[in-house]
Structure 1
Amino acid sequence: MPRRTNPFKPTAGMNPPELIGRDMILDDFSEALANGVGAPDRLMRISGVRGVGKTVLLNALGDIARANGFVVVDVASNAGFCDRILHALTGRGEISSLTISPSILGMGLGSAELARPATQLGEAMLTASKRSGLLVTLDEIQDAPIDELRELGNEIQLLIRQGANVAFAFAGLPTAVDGVVGVDTLTFLQRARHVELTRLNDAEVEESLAETIRLGGSSAASGVPTLLADAASGYPFMVQLVGYYAWQSAARRKSDEIGTEDARRGISLARRNFDGMVIEPALRRLSPRQLEYLVAMAECEGDVVSSGEVAERMGLAARDVGSYRRRLLDAALIEQVGYGKAAFSIPYMRDYLREHRDELMSLA
């Protein structure tokens, strides 16, 4: 039997075969391009936790814009992004340095320094907008230097005031996206369409998994899509992981049907890889006290935990753990659920923290 290509794509930023639950967002953006200058959905701010599909959504917006003849520039927002936008638009500018640095789920461009006059970026953007329209997408906004955000924001605001054919979308962790629109010179972005990406609907995930398997040329045994959807926990990156490894298990058996054992094996491998690709890199960024807070939170009963419970387990007063809690909220590792209460933002985080408690506490 010829080997079928695995249709699932669990790689950071890689477009999956199907965007689950994002149809309305894409339709609104497509209509905004068709409706011309001034349509509100041409400005979009996208927020969500790691792995929830922010980069994938930016990619999909770019695909729509290209299909409409737009010039599209996609950049990560670490240092030097204004220069990278200019270089992409003009092909000019002498790169004096280029570094590659690791990001949470892969590799990201570090910085590029180009020599240019302060007004050259705006001129290049205006030229592109006149030619066929321009979309700029900016990812990982939490890494953006504030001076570069001001520069790009000022140029985009000026282009909008001039009636230029432009669109702009940026994405990042929730607190970072909120922070950008609060910058004095960028308050016009408060009018941008706010898209908060949350966990996917289990029924939609199940349907998508079954359809992706079918379109890939295989089939799923009864109950397999449900099993995989439950394990994915509504988390887009995990959807791709469980689908990928379940497919691989069946392929290695040279079977065109994904069976229950393939699904279970795939879920186990997906869990292991999810830990290594998402959870562990996120934990490595934390201070010892922040790590201790998360471990204490994981040891509490229930999905929603009060700050007081965590403080008690840490042997501290509630007022003394507030700063750790705030930083974890800012990093989108936990999310607020009512006054003084929080839950884990990333699936399987609690399980990982409990399983590796002793190892983690030795580092705290």
Structure 2
Amino acid sequence: MARSENPFRPGFNSPPPAFVGRERLLGAVREALAVAALDGRTPRPIVITGTRGVGKTVALGEAAALAATEHAWPTVHVEVRPGRDLTPLLTERIVAAGHLLEHTTADDRRHPVITGGKIGASALGVGGEVEVHLERPGSGAADPLEAALRATMHTAMEEGAGLVVTLDEVQYAQRAELAGFTAVLQERMGDNWPLVVLVAGLPSIREPRRTVTYLERGEWHELGLLTRDEAEQALREPAADAGRPMDADAARELAAASGGYPYAVQLYGHHAWRASSGSDHIALEHALAARTAARRELEEGLYVARWNDASEREREYLTAAARLIVRRGEATGGAVAAELGKAATEVSYLRDRLLKKGTLYSEGARLVFITPGMAEWVAGL
């Protein structure tokens, strides 16, 4: 059987073939780039929040791609990790960006994202990678990060270019480090640097004790679930582009099963493609087979992981919510409290915790499990 590449990518942090339902965010990125590149002003930072699996990291990648293709600007990207200092990494990569801007032309910079000591040499038009040898700013510098930013932005302005900085998983950042970085940005606003900053993290970054003043004044975008039409589009477009179109009833079935959760859309699409191997299209029968396979994968993966991540009290709340959804078709905070025999104020902290963790998602007053099918699974425990 001939090899046919599956266009669907259900791995976290894997860019989908069709970036659907995020037009407002992409418009904001384009506007920020235009403000920095054409208006000569430093735009407000863009802050992206949402639970896991809704496309925050993908959105940062799309911003980097827009900067490279439309303006020939490089992007410095740092994924914040628990127990790892942000400032030294960010400083080193900003210095690397300065080297790139100084030693390449605009045509060379149509692709690079700087994530370490090496820059992919496809950006430079040659094979392999080019090692960027850096000297860390000396200990005598009052603020190495500020010095690195100042030098790199000076180079960028001399070259008629700019820079994008993207920070992912900022909920793990030490508040002091984040405050230090944003303090530099705030102090230098009057210098009109061609600099666009985007940060992404879980909804908890909106908590007053976690965020910093500069980001509070940013442009906030919360990524949620896709609409049914958007989910169908995210299924049908990649399949058609890959040469195996998906029937309308198959797309409707998978979009409904996915609940609009972007990760699940990719997972269901992946299994539908696999089930239709050897066929010239994806039919309803393939979608039904995909639903079974994807549900099994979700049960063994996300359901168990999110259940194990919940405390005993949170599990009680989840169980009450799940039983209401199975029995009545929906759950609200007030109904869950009544199911538990409590006043809503007594258990509101559990609701808030589960929303911040991304196990539950609010649609107005309604509470839904972000991972499709999990309500039925929890109710059956």
Label 1:316 to 1:274 Cα distance change in 2 as closer, same or farther (>3 A). Answer: same
CA distance in 1, matches of 2:266, 2:28: 25
Alignment check: 8 A CA contact 2:257 2:372 kept: no
Label 1:43 to 1:295 Cα distance change in 2 as closer, same or farther (>3 A). Answer: same
Q: Letter of the aligned partner of 1:256 in structure 2? A: D
Alignment check: 8 A CA contact 2:225 2:259 kept: yes
Match of 1:321 among 347, 351, 356: 347
Task: Write the deviation string for residues 145-186 of structure 1: whole angstroms up to 9, x where unpaired.
Answer: 211111121122233332111111111222323547x74xx3
Alignment check: 8 A CA contact 2:49 2:203 kept: yes
Aligned position for 1:172? 201
Query: Aligned runs of 1:262-341 on 2, under 5 Å?
Result: 262-300=286-324, 301-302=327-328, 304-307=330-333, 309-314=335-340, 318-336=344-362
Instruction: For structure 2, list consecutive stretches of 5 or more residues without a partner in the other structure.
Output: 98-135
CA distance in 1, matches of 2:7, 2:193: 39
Q: Letter of the aligned partner of 2:289 in structure 1? A: R
Label 1:91 to 1:269 Cα distance change in 2 as closer, same or farther (>3 A). Answer: same
Deviation, structure 1 residue 77:
2.4
Deviation, structure 1 residue 308:
5.1
Deviation, structure 1 residue 318:
4.9
Deviation, structure 1 residue 200:
1.3
1:38 and 2:67 aligned? no
Aligned position for 2:28? 28
Alignment check: 8 A CA contact 1:44 1:168 kept: yes
Deviation, structure 1 residue 244:
0.8
Task: Write the deviation string for residues 273-330 of structure 1: whole angstroms up to 9, x where unpaired.
Answer: 2344433322322211111221122112445434454345445565543432332233
Aligned position for 2:222? 196
| SS of residue paired to 2:11 | coil
Label 1:277 to 1:129 Cα distance change in 2 as closer, same or farther (>3 A). Answer: farther
Alignment check: 8 A CA contact 2:49 2:56 kept: yes
Greater share of residues in strand: 1
CA distance in 2, matches of 1:170, 1:284: 28
Q: Letter of the aligned partner of 1:216 in structure 2? A: A
Task: Write the deviation string for residues 71-124 of structure 1: whole angstroms up to 9, x where unpaired.
Answer: 3122222331222212223369xxxxxxxxxxxxxxxxxxxxx99746111221
CA distance in 2, matches of 1:275, 1:73: 37
CA distance in 2, matches of 1:56, 1:277: 21
- TM-score normalised to structure 2 length: 0.77
CA distance in 1, matches of 2:137, 2:330: 51
Aligned position for 2:233? 207
| SS of residue paired to 1:2 | coil
CA distance in 1, matches of 2:234, 2:347: 42
Aligned position for 1:110? none
1:74 and 2:77 aligned? yes
Label 1:17 to 1:161 Cα distance change in 2 as closer, same or farther (>3 A). Answer: same
1:89 and 2:94 aligned? yes
Instruction: Give the count of matched residue pairs.
Output: 328
CA distance in 2, matches of 1:315, 1:207: 43
Aligned position for 1:97? none
CA distance in 2, matches of 1:307, 1:352: 20
Deviation, structure 1 residue 60:
0.6
Match of 2:284 among 234, 239, 260: 260
Tell me the C-alpha RMSD between the 2 structures. Answer: 2.7
Aligned position for 1:245? 271
Alignment check: 8 A CA contact 1:308 1:318 kept: yes
Between stretches 254-263 and 296-305, larger displacement belongs to 296-305
Query: Aligned runs of 1:116-127 on 2, under 5 Å?
Result: 117=139, 119-127=143-151
